Structure 1
């Protein structure tokens, strides 16, 4: 309720006093804004720079080049598809003729292929240099079956015969041509080299239409190999010169096939044999998302890490480089495993947490320390404005030391009144009120000095001030 007994002028004075009191207690928003603006701006730039380099969320699908229907490559690609589907990543498998065709598809930017299995040693002119390896996944022995009354010791013994070397685009054909050439057998000679592969090659050999066939995982399944081992008068070639092949072709390794590997009851093969086996690498583009790289290597451990008839448990996958460099993310996984977030959280949530953690770095390094320093910077700005007034007072005081005319003294006093009015209207936090009152005492000292200026311009100090 308004006190009607209070004179209007008094009420105005009280309202003015309240506004002044509130002004002293209020925060100087201009100084606060000027204090926080550089901190926020630098933090925003740091976060923007981080976002520029941070990888986006991993895509939810991949395109993988598999092998021919029924081939070992295709069966393995299906297993990758099943495992990655658990984490919400869809793999679409594209049919191919084998390793060389896989590499060509992966090297073609218009094919849309993201990953592919490629036999080591296979190269192509279409390679652009942007491919990385996620590791060697498994050994892929080259099996050479032939019809003969007695064992053959060298590939040169196949000269003049009919040989199925696999279709165009297969790693089988690529390797067969390289090994036959090293033994003096090349296309165009008296040896007939046929494009047959897989089941068609098996049937032709059993029907005595050809004399030998080259088979490997990208063109034939394990079932085809087992059937040929049980066929009459069909032999599996023994690479007795395995050491020489291993030294001449660096991407090949000797592989001992113990007696009875394919059939213990019938003891097939009847004696230990030496096979030559390139390893199969899982290749991808160099911009493969790190999270997908981890998923693929993890799947490789599940698929290939348990061992097979031809590989010891734990031998694969392996980060040994062959024709292509091991990706940095894959190398990290082989060394230290998955990141902490991916170990305990679902894939999609771990991806979100990992990217959020990167954004927290500039916040922890720039924003939080900046906000801790903000009160000091804010106080410095308030003090700087107060000190500026002291500079003006010193200028007026130096002027008061000189003889002044009444007009000059009136001008200086008017300027002093403006300074004091500006101080009173200045929004000042309560923590700085004592400095404002000290400043006003000094203003009173200068005013008295100007008022007493008549000759010497020197006034007595204000009570409480040092002499």
Structure 2
């Protein structure tokens, strides 16, 4: 039984482009691999900073909204557009962050509003300012929330961070909604007005509700007092998001020494909370802005007290930890933001590129050598087949066919372009063609 022998290699129309084809087929797989890896690194590992981010702030004319607009101004210096959304307060800010459909990247969130919410996907860029709780009441001698039981208390509007905090602290003192103590949804100026007019017996004011001007007005009203939190240290132990702060004598009005004595207060901390996918470069810009906005001394804080990385309700982001420890990188200190971003991304690519290119460049000569030699080796299969047929005493007609196949091989070799480095193998092949031709003529 005869076995079919290999057909002579056909090179018609492609010989003049053989070198280019060899180079292309040798380099193309490595080039494609490098492009794929670089693309993955650029878009998945180190994408470009976004041009626009969204921040959920607070109610109109609140300190939250004021701070957010300051962030907007500072980020604009580096070409970043910050869209600021008004909100009902910290609770709505947190819910927006947790809802992917809202497309909110960062928010100012007061401590104590995360109970019952799945906040593990969020991270903190640091604490930025106090949002103190100040309790005003009618009468005197009250130094604990438990003493307000049975009285009419203004605890803030529905959905506000003030209300969330007030209800938690009152519950810790045995006062719950639906009990014998009326809890009224008054906030800010409305709560202060109700207190002065006698509609409520106490008002829990928080943050923007407890402005310096409002506190001075209330402290000048006969029969209205501010509660001194004698148990402030206990609150900070039971509620880790609270800090103890003092209003020293005369801090509100030195001339009239208001308050006359030190007042102990408790205060939740406001944090910059972000989604976990916030770009590191944007994180750096936000912390830098926070240092400019919140690092100055004020009524409730010392210079450089904020921002800080004191752990609260949310894990501190790794990027924030790095920034607080070492500051901005040399690139971002020395170059404009967007140029530094491009250079930074380029440097990130160098390591994986080196990992790919060094062994790839070592492999290329072997691949190219194999590719070129493989074109020569394909002829040997046909030559061996012709020689074997010649040893079988072929008929004149069969011999004619074999000569024709040898002619085809020689014709293909005449058109074959071979790099000079492989000329020796090429001419050895031509000698072997001649050898097989001689063998066929002998038979």
TM range (shorter): 0.7 to 0.9
| Structure 1 match to 2:148 | 158
Query: Structure 2 CA distance, aligned partners of 1:36 and 1:273?
Result: 76
Aligned to 2:162: 172
* 1: CA distance, partners of 2:340 / 2:51: 14
Q: After TM superposition, give the deviation of residue 426 of structure 1 in Å.
A: 0.9
Alignment of 1:15-414 (within 5 A): 28-50=19-41, 53-54=44-45, 57-109=48-100, 111=102, 113-123=104-114, 130-148=121-139, 150-229=140-219, 234-355=224-345, 363-366=353-356, 370=360, 373-390=363-380, 392-393=382-383, 412-414=402-404
- With over 3 angstroms needed to count, the CA separation of the structure-2 counterparts of 1:63 and 1:230, relative to structure 1, is farther
Please report how far the alpha carbon of residue 418 of structure 1 lies from its aligned counterpart in structure 2 after TM superposition.
3.3
Equivalent-residue separation in structure 1 for 2:157 and 2:121 (angstroms): 27
Give RMSD over aligned pairs.
Answer: 3.5
| Cα deviation, residue 270, structure 1 | 2.7
**Cα 1:375/1:152, change in 2 over 3 Å:** same
Q: Distance in 2 between matches of 1:190 and 1:409?
A: 117
Quick check: 2:134–2:210 contact (8 Å CA) kept in 1?
no
Aligned-pair CA distance for 1:335: 4.1
After superposition, the Cα gap between the structure-2 partners of 1:403 and 1:184, relative to the gap in structure 1 and judged at 3 Å, is closer
**Residues 390-409 of structure 1, C-alpha deviations (whole Å, 9 max, x = no match):** 45545555666676766666
Distance 1:56 1:428, change over 3 A: same
SS in 1 for 2:126: strand
> Residue 426 of structure 2 corresponds to which residue in structure 1?
436
Contact 1:66–1:116, Cα closer than 8 Å, also in 2: yes
- C-alpha change, 1:438 and 1:315, in structure 2 (3 Å) is same
Hey, what does 1:10 align to over in structure 2?
A: none
- The change in CA–CA distance for 1:107 and 1:451 in structure 2 (over 3 A counts) is closer
State how many pairs are aligned.
430
Residues 43-75 of structure 1 deviation map (CA, whole Å, 9 limit, x = unaligned): 333344335525654443333333333433233
Secondary structure of 2:427's match? helix
In 2, the alpha carbon distance for the partners of 1:100 and 1:218 equals 15
Residues 72 and 222 in structure 1, CA contact (< 8 A), matched pair in contact too: no
**Aligned-residue offset at 1:437:** 2.3
Shift of 1:209: 4.6
* Structure 2 unmatched runs, 5+: 1-13
**Bigger CA radius of gyration:** 1
- TM-score, scaled to structure 1: 0.78
The answer as to whether partners of 1:57 and 1:351 remain within 8 angstroms in 2 is yes
TM-aligned CA distance change 1:444 to 1:107, over 3 Å: closer
Which 5+ residue runs of structure 1 have no aligned equivalent?
1-22, 454-467
Residues 189, 421 of structure 1: alpha-carbon distance in 2 compared, 3 angstrom cutoff: closer
- Length-normalised TM-score, structure 2: 0.81
Mapped to 1, the partners of 2:382 and 2:200 lie a distance apart of 109
Q: 2: CA distance between counterparts of 1:66 and 1:34?
A: 57
